């Protein structure tokens, strides 16, 4: 407490009085944050994804395609705060397309908080803007305003709950199954939490073979027909995502997902898969047991061999995969210990490699697949095994 001197005829004495700071705190004080704890400033009319004020994409047909975000109202003062009027409402040009689906509590005790939830349910396509208005008896701000937005899309129904919308149109023909796509993407849950993005610092665009089971089913089915430069938003039900198992801490079981994608490049480029359908990168020099390029230990006596299978995906043609392969044979072995490995072409893209070491120790070679890819006419990767 501050001490002020009161002087009178009888002399002086000290009388405790409340500090001005303490008197200010004995009132209600409002603050607002997103459910991810990012603070929102009153008067901020520039919505962004990081604080959930940009609710992101939603489909006109509603249902799973609606975007929902939660926000927290806090009372930082030392007196009970009462929300007044309609408590929370959305006003502005497109305010009617944002719904307060969960209303906050009427009163908030000192140090406590309450949650309200907004739902974006667009009636037409395009970017929609609104202003959230929170009214209360808070001493620091009786009316707390901030801008929100969302993007409405006409959805294409792929089936089984999978839908997509076009953010930006692309050019040329659409991608087909077995083609290799190069994509940028951002994935987030329906509550707005971003769980992965190729746009994060240090990340590269993502390459995969469409329709080959290398990605979740929602991608394999939802990106068929995407065009060069196209930006597409995918609304993927959990059954076509990570299902009842989920994936890590940010994708719990039975979580619906949304991906915003951009197609950077695609075509019937060659790609090789090994064990467990793992893609073996072109130029890979680090053989692994997981993809079958490391054959493990084999007796050099000649009585034991190890055989691993690989599959070449080289795009579509009337005759299958072979027309894109230009070598004779299609697959060959080169390198220091090439004679310890033999290749047998099985047709339709499948080939088998046999390891039969002629001596003990580490034995290394290189698989080479000549093709008509204009950017790289030889697809190669290292293989190895150990003779014992």
Instruction: Looking at the structure, tell me whether residues 106 and 145 fall in a common domain.
Output: yes
Stretch 36-51: mean pLDDT = 96
Q: Which of 153, 259, 313, 330 is catalytic?
A: 259
Instruction: Looking at the structure, tell me whether residues 223 and 338 fall in a common domain.
Output: no
Q: Which of 51, 196, 291, 340 is catalytic?
A: 196
pLDDT over 90 (residue 324): no
pLDDT score of 64 = 63
Domain assignment present for 236: yes
Q: Which of 98, 116, 185, 313 is catalytic?
A: 185
Q: What is the CATH number of the domain that holds 328?
A: 2.60.40
- CA-to-CA distance for 295 and 309, rounded, in angstroms? 11
Instruction: Looking at the structure, tell me whether residues 236 and 279 fall in a common domain.
Output: no
Examine the residue annotation and report whether 235 is marked as an active-site residue of this protein.
no
Q: What is the CATH number of the domain that holds 100?
A: 2.60.40.10
Instruction: Looking at the structure, tell me whether residues 118 and 182 fall in a common domain.
Output: no
Q: Which of 108, 216, 270, 383 is catalytic?
A: 216
Examine the residue annotation and report whether 196 is marked as an active-site residue of this protein.
yes
pLDDT score of 63 = 64
Instruction: Looking at the structure, tell me whether residues 236 and 182 fall in a common domain.
Output: yes
Classify each residue of 5-39 as buried b or exposed e, where b means 16 or more C-beta atoms within 10 Å of its C-beta: eeeeeeeeeeeeeeeeeeeeeebbbbbbbbbeeee
- CA-to-CA distance for 145 and 164, rounded, in angstroms? 33
**pTM, entire model:** 0.65
Instruction: Looking at the structure, tell me whether residues 34 and 140 fall in a common domain.
Output: yes
Instruction: Looking at the structure, tell me whether residues 307 and 236 fall in a common domain.
Output: no
Identify the CA nearest to 192 among candidates 150, 222, 232, 162: 150
Q: Which of 126, 153, 180 is the last residue of a domain?
A: 153
Domain assignment present for 11: no
Examine the residue annotation and report whether 164 is marked as an active-site residue of this protein.
no
Instruction: Looking at the structure, tell me whether residues 48 and 31 fall in a common domain.
Output: yes
Examine the residue annotation and report whether 259 is marked as an active-site residue of this protein.
yes
Domain count, the chain: 3
Domain assignment present for 5: no
Tens of pLDDT, residue by residue over 245-290, are 999 999 999 999 999 999 998 876 677 899 998 989 888 999 999 9
Instruction: Looking at the structure, tell me whether residues 129 and 187 fall in a common domain.
Output: no
Tens of pLDDT, residue by residue over 61-73, are 766 667 899 999 9
At residue 65, what are phi and psi to the nearest 5 degrees? -75, 0
| Chain position carrying tokens 């004080």 | 29
Q: Which of 195, 206, 207, 282 is catalytic?
A: 195
Q: Which of 267, 282, 317 is the last residue of a domain?
A: 267
Structural domain span for residue 331: 271-387
Q: Mean pLDDT of all residues in the chain?
A: 88
């Amino acid at each position: 407490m501050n001490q002020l001197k009161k002087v009178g005829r009888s002399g002086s004495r000290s009388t405790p009085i409340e500090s001005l700071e303490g008197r200010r705190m004995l009132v209600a004080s409002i603050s607002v944050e997103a459910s991810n704890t990012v603070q929102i400033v009153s008067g901020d009319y520039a919505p962004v994804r990081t604080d959930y004020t940009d609710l992101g994409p939603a489909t006109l047909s509603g249902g799973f395609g609606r975007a929902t975000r939660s926000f927290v109202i806090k009372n930082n003062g030392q007196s009970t705060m009462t929300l007044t009027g309609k408590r929370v409402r959305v006003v502005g040009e497109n305010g009617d397309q944002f719904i307060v689906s969960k209303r906050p509590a009427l009163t908030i005790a000192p140090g406590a908080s309450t949650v309200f939830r907004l739902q974006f349910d667009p009636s037409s396509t395009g970017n929609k803007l609104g202003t959230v208005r929170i009214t209360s008896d808070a001493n620091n701000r009786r009316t707390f305003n901030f801008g929100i937005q969302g993007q409405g899309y006409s959805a294409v129904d792929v089936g089984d709950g999978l839908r997509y919308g076009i953010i930006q149109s692309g050019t040329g023909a659409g991608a087909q199954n077995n083609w290799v796509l190069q994509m940028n993407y951002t994935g987030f849950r329906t509550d707005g939490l971003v769980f992965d993005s190729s746009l994060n610092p240090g990340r590269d665009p993502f390459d995969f073979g469409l329709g080959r089971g290398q990605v979740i089913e929602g991608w394999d089915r939802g990106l068929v027909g995407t065009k060069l430069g196209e930006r597409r938003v995918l609304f993927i039900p959990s059954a076509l995502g990570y299902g009842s198992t989920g994936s890590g801490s940010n994708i719990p079981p039975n979580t619906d997902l949304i991906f915003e994608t951009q197609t950077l490049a695609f075509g019937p480029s060659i790609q090789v898969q090994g064990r467990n359908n793992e893609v073996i990168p072109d130029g890979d020099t680090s053989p692994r047991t997981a993809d079958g390029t490391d054959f493990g230990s084999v007796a050099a006596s000649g009585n034991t061999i190890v055989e691993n299978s690989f599959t070449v995906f080289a795009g579509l043609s009337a005759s299958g995969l072979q027309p894109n392969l230009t070598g004779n044979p299609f697959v060959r072995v080169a390198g220091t210990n090439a004679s310890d490995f033999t290749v047998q072409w099985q047709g339709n893209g499948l080939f088998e490699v046999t390891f039969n070491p002629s001596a003990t120790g580490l034995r290394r070679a290189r698989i080479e697949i000549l093709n008509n890819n204009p950017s790289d006419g030889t697809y190669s990767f290292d293989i190895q095994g150990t003779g014992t």
